[in-house]
């Protein structure tokens, strides 16, 4: 009778183990497959990643079925041993050896099932690790090994959630590698990749847990600073900026110097992700307008310098240092070299086509030089050309490499700002206009300041880029009473 109860108890325990293993496999599969709720991160994955995940999940389910089948086979075997046990008990002669044989058989069956269960558990754990690895890969930037934009969005949402629930302070740093496009153009994309990796290593060395450093996109990086006030974040930003400034990248025997323009924003109660990111972005624009290689912070109303702004980096100012520049300072961009209106529209349309975030805001800024005073020692034609190049240089130095700049004609420029709202673009445009207009121009009539009109327009998701350009250009010229000129040039 004791053996009979042992048999029943063994069956019950093994059946329970089977159910638990199957349930565990199903729960692991569902948990790993389900997107994280409320993360705000994109849920789309590549077909290869989806296939890899589905294959691992299917193997887990198959293992659970195999375990259930093993338990079923085990029950059949135990029933056979149980029948032999009953037959042995009915014999009148010595039952000991036969019962011992039956019990040994039952124990061996249990041992075999236990081994199969352990093997199944090991395989399930391996498949779960495979899925977790795939998920980690999906949240890691392959080039820099930093968390990517998806991981950044998840962490920022969680950090702002703690602010809303507990009042914990937090801050955000966003920075842009200065003149990154010129690294690529002058030295090739391999050099650009090495610059990104080097900056990522420097950033990782400067940031400690629980802060999160991420590659925000392109040449932009971001740092989430939980439990950190805006004042402390400014100190961290300057530490990062100084470390990057000391960074040198050796590529093909050349030593490349790197700098960054940094924006800082402290989180405010009620902030959404786009709010704190917008303010940090505005601070980045202010840092670029101030000459790059400096840090600005946003106090909720305007962007202010963290430390005295540096002179423009030598790498940027020396691009065309051999060219005569009068007294206006170095000219690094020729207006005539900027994309025409048609090329600008085509390039921007291609970017939108390639973009995975079709809902991101897109704003246009139009700058119009209203007067062309004659510069000392130059005739009128050369003065116009020099002033246009000067304004083009000022505009180019103030924007991110991800922004697109084009020329619309004599003294007119258009800038596309991906991911920037109309409100933020207006603030940036006014800051750039003020920066350029603040410089004294030596003319035949004495020192003067350039008059520049600026207008902004948002491009709707399904709207025409060309129509938006016409609209923003009209607004810029309307501010100066030049509608007639616009009408005649369209």
Question: Could you give the residue numbers annotated as active site?
Answer: 219
- Tell me the HSE value of 373 on the side-chain side, using a 13 A CA sphere: 16
Q: Which residues of 64-95 are buried (b: 16+ CB within 10 A; e: fewer)?
A: beebeebbeebbebbeebbebbeebeeeeeee
For the chain, the first-to-last Cα distance in angstroms comes to 102
Whether 459 contacts 362, CB under 8 Å:
yes
Residues with Cβ within 8 Å of 4's Cβ and at least 6 positions away in sequence, in order, are: 82, 85
- CA-to-CA distance for 52 and 10, rounded, in angstroms? 38
Whether 302 contacts 167, CB under 8 Å:
no
Give the pairing type, strands 412-418 and 362-369: antiparallel
Whether 390 contacts 328, CB under 8 Å:
yes
- CA-to-CA distance for 383 and 372, rounded, in angstroms? 7
The total number of residues written for the chain in this structure? 490
Which helix (H) or strand (E) element contains residue 112?
Answer: helix 96-138
- CA-to-CA distance for 237 and 212, rounded, in angstroms? 13
**H helix count then E strand count, the chain:** 14, 14
């Amino acid at each position: 009778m004791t053996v009979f109860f042992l048999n029943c108890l063994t069956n019950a325990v093994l059946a329970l183990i089977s159910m638990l293993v199957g349930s565990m496999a199903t729960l692991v599969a569902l948990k790993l497959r389900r997107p994280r709720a409320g993360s705000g991160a994109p849920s789309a994955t590549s077909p290869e990643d989806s296939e890899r995940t589905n294959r691992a999940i299917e193997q887990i389910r198959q293992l659970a079925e195999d375990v259930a089948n093993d338990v079923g086979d085990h029950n059949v075997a135990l029933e056979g041993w149980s029948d032999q046990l009953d037959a042995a008990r009915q014999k009148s002669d010595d039952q000991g050896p036969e019962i011992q044989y039956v019990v040994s058989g039952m124990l061996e069956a249990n041992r075999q099932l236990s081994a199969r269960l352990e093997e199944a558990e090991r395989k399930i754990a391996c498949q779960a690790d495979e899925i977790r690895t795939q998920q980690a890969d999906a949240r890691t930037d392959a080039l820099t090994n930093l968390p990517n934009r998806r991981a950044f969005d998840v962490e920022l949402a969680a950090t702002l959630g703690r602010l809303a629930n507990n009042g914990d302070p937090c801050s955000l740093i966003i920075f842009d590698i200065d003149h990154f496009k010129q690294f690529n153009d002058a030295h090739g994309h391999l050099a650009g990749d090495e610059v990104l990796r080097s900056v990522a290593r420097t950033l990782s060395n400067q940031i400690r847990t629980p802060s999160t450093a991420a590659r925000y996109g392109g040449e932009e990086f971001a740092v989430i600073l939980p439990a950190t006030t805006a004042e402390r974040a400014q100190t961290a930003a300057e530490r990062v900026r100084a470390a990057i400034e000391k960074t040198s990248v050796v590529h093909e025997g050349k030593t490349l110097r790197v700098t960054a323009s940094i924006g800082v924003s402290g989180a405010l109660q009620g902030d959404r992700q786009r709010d704190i990111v917008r303010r940090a972005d505005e601070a980045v624009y202010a840092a670029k307008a101030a000459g790059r290689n400096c840090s600005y912070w946003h106090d909720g109303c305007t962007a202010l310098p963290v430390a005295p702004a540096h002179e423009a980096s030598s790498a940027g100012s020396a691009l065309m240092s051999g060219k005569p520049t009068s007294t206006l300072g170095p000219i690094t961009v020729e207006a005539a070299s900027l994309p025409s209106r048609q090329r600008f529209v085509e390039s921007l349309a291609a970017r939108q086509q390639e973009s995975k975030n079709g809902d991101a805001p897109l704003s246009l800024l139009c700058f119009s030089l209203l007067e062309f005073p004659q510069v000392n020692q130059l005739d009128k034609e050369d003065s116009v050309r020099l002033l246009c190049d000067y304004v083009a240089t000022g505009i180019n130095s103030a924007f991110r490499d991800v922004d697109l700049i084009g020329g619309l004609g004599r003294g007119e420029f258009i800038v596309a700002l991906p991911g920037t709202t109309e409100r933020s673009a207006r603030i940036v445009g006014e800051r750039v206009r003020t920066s350029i207009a603040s410089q004294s121009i030596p003319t035949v009539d004495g020192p003067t300041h350039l008059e520049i009109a600026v207008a902004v327009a948002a491009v709707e998701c399904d709207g025409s880029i060309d129509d938006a350009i016409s609209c923003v250009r009209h607004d810029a010229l309307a501010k100066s009473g030049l509608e007639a000129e616009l009408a005649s040039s369209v």
